[in-house]
Amino acid sequence: MAITIRDVAKEAGVSVATVSRVINDSGYAHEDTRKVVLEAVNKLNYKPNEVARSLFKRKSKLIGLILPDITNPFFPALARGVEDYLQKEGYRVIFGNSDEQLEKEMDYVDTFKQNNVVGIIASINETDSEMLSELSIPLVLLDRTIEALPSVYADQEQGGRLAAEKVLERGSKEITIVRGPKNVKNVYQRFEASYEVLKEAGVKVNILDSNLSFNGAKERAIELFQKYPQTDGVLACNDIVGVAILNEAQRIGKRIPEDVQVIGFDDISISELVYPGLSTIHQPAYEMGAKAAEILIKKINQEKLLNIHYKLAVSFVERKSTRKIGK
Amino acid sequence: MAITIRDVAKEAGVSVATVSRVINDSGYAHEDTRKVVLEAVNKLNYKPNEVARSLFKRKSKLIGLILPDITNPFFPALARGVEDYLQKEGYRVIFGNSDEQLEKEMDYVDTFKQNNVVGIIASINETDSEMLSELSIPLVLLDRTIEALPSVYADQEQGGRLAAEKVLERGSKEITIVRGPKNVKNVYQRFEASYEVLKEAGVKVNILDSNLSFNGAKERAIELFQKYPQTDGVLACNDIVGVAILNEAQRIGKRIPEDVQVIGFDDISISELVYPGLSTIHQPAYEMGAKAAEILIKKINQEKLLNIHYKLAVSFVERKSTRKIGK
DNA sequence: GATAAACATGTAACGGGTTACACAATGTTC
DNA sequence: GAACATTGTGTAACCCGTTACATGTTTATC
C-alpha cells in the first residue's frame, strides 16, 4: 500500500541499504547515487515508516506527556510550551490526563513505554513517583519536583510569600487564604509560605479549603464571605478561584479593591481580561513547558546537565484587584 | 533489556505462537497452557511491544489529534472529550497544535501516518481539507465541517441567530458585532447568522474585526467603545473577547447590562465565574470531542454510520451580562 | 476401530526499516 | 606497481510481535 524503502530502492536501482544510508546521511554514498536516490524519494513521495525504525532502534520520536487536567487553564500553557519545543526538534507528543490519579499515571507510563517513547514529561505527585525513579527512560517532572528526578517548576514559596507580602503592604488586616488540596504539594507550599508570612505579621488569618478546578469554585467563594465576612484580603490558591471570589465579592456589594483585595496564583491568560483585572502571582507556564522539553531532549541525547532542578522565578503582577501601594 | 514474548515463551516452556495466542485470545490454547502462560506473563510483568505489533498489523492503537491552539480555552474541553473517550477504548492520542496553518496540519498528518495512527481527529479549515479527503485512514472533523468528511460540530447558525435574537428581545438598539477571522469558517457563520437577524430587525449594527485569542482582545474592546460609543449591545465572536468587552465597558463606567449587554460564544468554563456572569451561546465542547472520538472508533471498526455529519445543538445561557427579559 | 472433525502447538515468514559485514573499486604512498 | 587506506554498495540478520501452515493429538461419529 504505502511506499516502502524497497520501492524507492527499486526505483533508484540501488539496494535498500543505500537508500537508508542516503536518507539518514550515515555511511558512504556516492554523490551521483545520492542524487538518484533523492530523486526517487521525491518522485514516490516516500516517507519512512517510523514504526519500523522505532522497532529496530528501540527508540521512537515520541514523547509522553502527562498532565493532571488539560481543562484547567494553567496546563494548556505548559502543554503548549512542551509541544512547541518538541515539535521543532522533530518529536511528537502522546498526551494523557491523569486527574492526579496514580493509577492513570502508571497506566500512561506503561503504554508510553509500550510505544517506545524516548522520554516522558509529567506533572505527578511526590508520593506517586517512586516507581518512576527507576524508569528506564528519561523523565522530567513539570510543575512538580522531587529530589530524585530532574524537574522544572516555579518557586512556590517565593510565590506564596510574595502574595502575602503584597496584601500586607497594601493594608489588608483580616486575610483569608483559600488553600488548595493537600495532596498537590506545590499548591500546598504556596499556602504554607503565605501563612507563615501572614502569621508573622500578626494579622488575622482564616483558612478555607478548596480544590483547583472550576467545579465548586463559586460555592467556595460564597462560603468564604459567609464564614469570614470581615475578610478584607484574599489569597487564592489559583486564578480560577481568584476570579470566582472577585465575582462573589462584587455580587454581594463589596468594592474591589477598597473593601477586599484579591490575589490569585498562576496568571492564566484570562486574569488580565476579567474585571477588575486580577492581581496575581505569575508562573511562567509556557517557559516551564519549553524548559522541561529542552532538558528532556538533552537527557535523551545524553548531554550532561548542569542542573537537575530548575526552579523558575515567579513574580507579582499588579492589576486592579489590589490597592495601589501607599493608598 | 525489556521483556519480550520470547522470554515469556521460554519461561512458560511453550512457543512464542502459543504465548501470542493466549495473550490475544485468538486461536486455540489448552486451558492448562493458558494458565502457565498467564503466570509467566505476570511473573515477568510482560507488556507486549506495541511497536512490533503495529509494524506487523499496520495499525497501532494511536490516534492523531490536531487542534488550532490548546491555549485557547475552548479547545481543551474538546481535547478532553476526545481523550477521555479514546483512553477508555484503549487508544492513545498524539497531539499537535496547528495554529490554523495548513503547513503544520499537513506536517502532523504526515508524521501521524508515519507512526501508523489508525485515525485522525482534526479541527481544520475547509480550504485545507482537499488533501485530507483522499487520506487512507479515517478522519473526522471536529468543530468544523465539510461535505466530504465525517464531522462533529455545533450549530453555528443557530448560535448566531440565538445571540442576535436574545439581545434584540432584551432591548438593545445599536448592536456591535465583533466578528472573528473570515478564514475560520464556523466563526464567520456565527457572524453571518447574527448579522442577518439584526438587519432584518432594522436595528443599527456595527461590525468590528477581531481574532479569537487573548492577544489583542483588550485592544479590540477599547477600540469598540471608541469607535461605537453608542453601542448598547455586543455580540462577541467568543467568550474571550466577550470577557474583554465586559471589562472595558465597566472600566469606562458603563453599567452591565443596563447600558450595554454582552453575549459571548462558546461558554468556556470561566464565563460563569467572571463578574458579571457572561451570557453566552453554549457549545457542548466536551460532548463534541467525545462524539468525534466515538464515530472515529466506529469508522475504524468499519461499522456503518447512520450519519456522517453530527450537528449538535447550541443553547443560550442566560447570566448577568444581559437584561432580564421584559425589563 | 476407522475416519473425520476439532483442538493444541510449534516453525518460520513477514512487516519495513537499520546496520554489521563482505566485497569491490578507487585513491594514496613510497 | 605493491601495499594499504578510503570509499561505495549489496546481502542478510535483526528488532518483536502475529499468523499461515504443518503436524500431532483428542474427541466425536457410525
- Is the predicted pLDDT of residue B107 greater than 70, yes or no? yes
Q: Please state which CATH number belongs to domain B156-284.
A: 3.40.50.2300
Closest CA relative to residue A234, chosen from A268, A225, A193: A225
pLDDT of residue A2: 87
Residues of A in contact with B62 (CB under 8 A): 94, 115
User: How far is the alpha carbon of B200 from chain A, nearest alpha carbon, in Å?
Assistant: 33
Q: Provide the grid cell at A197.
A: 508570612
Mean per-residue pLDDT for A85-101?
97
Q: How far apart are CA B254 and CA B130, in angstroms?
A: 47
Other C-beta atoms lying within 10 Å of the C-beta of residue B255: 10
Topology of domain A5-48, CATH: 434 Repressor (Amino-terminal Domain) (1.10.260)
Task: Please give the torsion angle defined by the CA atoms of residues B166, B167, B172 and B176, in that order, rounded to the nearest 10 degrees.
Answer: -150
**Residues near B69 by Cβ (< 8 Å), separated by ≥ 6?**
A80, B75, B97, B98, B99, B100, B213
Angle between helices A185-201 and A156-169 (to 10 degrees): 30
Per-residue cell: B198: 439584526
The pTM for the full model equals: 0.95
Q: Write down the mean pLDDT value for chain A.
A: 95
| Averaged pLDDT, B260-265 | 98
pLDDT tens digits along B116-173? 999 999 999 876 666 777 788 999 999 999 988 999 999 999 999 999 999 999 999 9
Q: Does B28 contact strand C, using a CB cutoff of 7 Å? A: yes
Q: Using alpha carbons, list the distances in angstroms from residue A280 to A194, A268, B157, B275.
A: 13, 9, 38, 17
Check pLDDT > 70 for residue A128.
no
What 3-state DSSP class applies to B89? coil
Q: Is the C-beta of residue B1 closer than 7 Å to nucleic acid chain D?
A: yes
Q: Is the dihedral of CA A79, A123, B293, B21 positive or negative?
A: positive
**Backbone dihedral angles phi then psi of residue B24, each to the nearest 5 degrees:** -100, 0
Cβ contact, residue pair B115, A84, below 8 Å: no
CB B243 within 8 A of CB B215: no
Dump pLDDT digits (tens) for A267-321.
Answer: 999 999 999 999 999 999 999 999 999 999 999 999 988 899 999 999 999 999 9
User: How far apart, in whole angstroms, are the C-alpha atoms of residue A238 and residue B201?
Assistant: 44
- What type of residue sits at position B208? L
Question: Which residue of A1, A78, A92, A224 to mutate against B (max B Cβ within 10 Å)?
Answer: A92
Distance from CA of B75 to the nearest CA of A (A): 9
> Class assignment of domain A57-154+285-312?
alpha beta
Domain residue limits, chain B = 5-48, 57-154+285-312, 156-284
Domains A5-48 and A57-154+285-312 share a fold: no
**Nearest to B149, CA basis, from B296, B289, B302:** B296
**Cβ <8 Å between A47 and B110:** yes
Helices (H), chain B: 5-12, 16-24, 31-44, 50-57, 74-88, 102-114, 130-133, 156-169, 185-201, 217-227, 239-251, 285-300
- By C-alpha distance, the chain A residue nearest B275 is A247
- Rounded Cα gap, residues B213 and B74, in angstroms: 10
Amino acid B194 reads: S
CA distance A18 to A25: 10
Contact between residue A98 and residue A108 where contact means Cβ atoms under 8 Å apart = yes
d(CA A247, CA A224): 12
Sign of CA dihedral A267, A270, A271, A273: positive
| Pairing of the two strands A119-122 and A139-142 | parallel
**pLDDT of A127:** 66
- At the fourth CATH level, which superfamily is domain A156-283? Response regulator (3.40.50.2300)
Percent of chain B with pLDDT over 90: 92
User: What's the CA–C1' distance between B61 and D21, in Å?
Assistant: 28
For residues B136 and B204, what is the distance between their CA atoms, to the nearest angstrom? 50
Strand partners, A119: A63
Residue B20 CA, nucleotide D27 C1', distance (Å) = 25
Residues of chain A found within 8 Å of residue B94, distances taken between Cβ atoms:
62, 92-95
In whole angstroms, C3 C1' to B27 CA is 24
Q: What is the band of A132 on the pLDDT scale with cuts at 50, 70, 90?
A: confident
